[in-house]
Amino acid sequence: MLCEIAGKPLILHTMERARAARLVDRVIVATDSQEIFDVVLAAGGEAMMTSAEHQSGSDRIAEVAETMPAGSFIVNVQGDEPLISPDTIDAAIQALIDEPRADISTASEPITSLWDEVLNFNVVKVVVGENGYALYFSRSPMPFPREAALRHGGPNEAIEAEPALLYNFRKHTGIYVYRREYLLEFTKLPPSPLEQIEMLEQLRAMENGAKIRVVHTNESSIAVDTQEDLERVRALIQGE
């Protein structure tokens, strides 16, 4: 979070993207790091210190949400998303406003690379039903292109031979929008089996019957999980 990009820490880039969203009233950096807390305050942002015992981002956000008014919409923009589009944030918020049946909303974006995205387990894929709700999230490539794999001798060979297959995949963007009351209920649930296998907290919600609305956007983002991700983001931001 404190790695420098274009002269300022990564977390400040993410904070500024969140601030630029039209539907966001307040941006708070929730952290258990005194250094991140100090950096945010020095930049004129708002930060809250939270417990160091939290096991997930949603748990940390829930601690802050407890201080928010009943009926609030809580937007969790993951701190490692310095390229997230303010338009994506607004679209995810609007989706939850428009869908009273949904407990959570999130976003997906196109996948354009076999090796950097489809086969990268740090890039989470999502499959969405015709009604716009998530069917599953995974670090594995999905949906599996069976017929094309049979034609070409394997899924990797199929996608290399037929690049249009990439359009079947969608990358999950690092944002969740919760109804405050659902977030507080969700974070009291124990970790679920699929969550523990994939290390994806949204699977805990799905295993307990939550409805997750997914908005498709054409914006792209890069979650900074590795040094290679950091270098890609640096090149993109410095080139703007």
- One digit per residue, pLDDT tens: the chain, 240 residues? 999 999 999 999 999 999 999 999 999 999 999 999 999 999 999 999 999 998 888 899 999 999 999 999 999 999 999 999 999 999 999 999 999 999 999 999 999 898 889 999 999 999 999 999 999 999 999 999 999 999 999 999 999 999 999 999 999 998 999 999 999 999 999 999 999 999 999 999 999 999 999 999 998 888 898 899 899 999 988 876
User: Does residue 81 lie within any of the structural domains?
Assistant: yes
User: Does residue 237 lie within any of the structural domains?
Assistant: no
User: Does residue 33 lie within any of the structural domains?
Assistant: no
Cis peptide upstream of residue 191 (ω within 30 degrees of 0): no
User: Does residue 16 lie within any of the structural domains?
Assistant: no
Domain that holds residue 142: 57-223
Tally Cβ neighbours within 10 Å of residue 6. 14
Whole-number pLDDT of residue 200: 94
Helix/strand/coil percentages in the chain, nearest 5:
40, 20, 40
Whole-number pLDDT of residue 1: 93
Q: What is the DSSP letter of 24?
A: -
* Structural domains counted in the chain: 1
User: Does residue 83 lie within any of the structural domains?
Assistant: yes
User: Does residue 11 lie within any of the structural domains?
Assistant: no
Q: Report whether 136 contacts 150 (CB < 8 A).
A: no
Specify the CATH number for the domain of residue 170: 3.90.550.10
Whole-number pLDDT of residue 240: 63
Summarize pLDDT for 13-28 with one digit per residue, the tens: 999 999 999 999 999 9
pTM above 0.85, yes or no: yes
Whole-number pLDDT of residue 116: 86
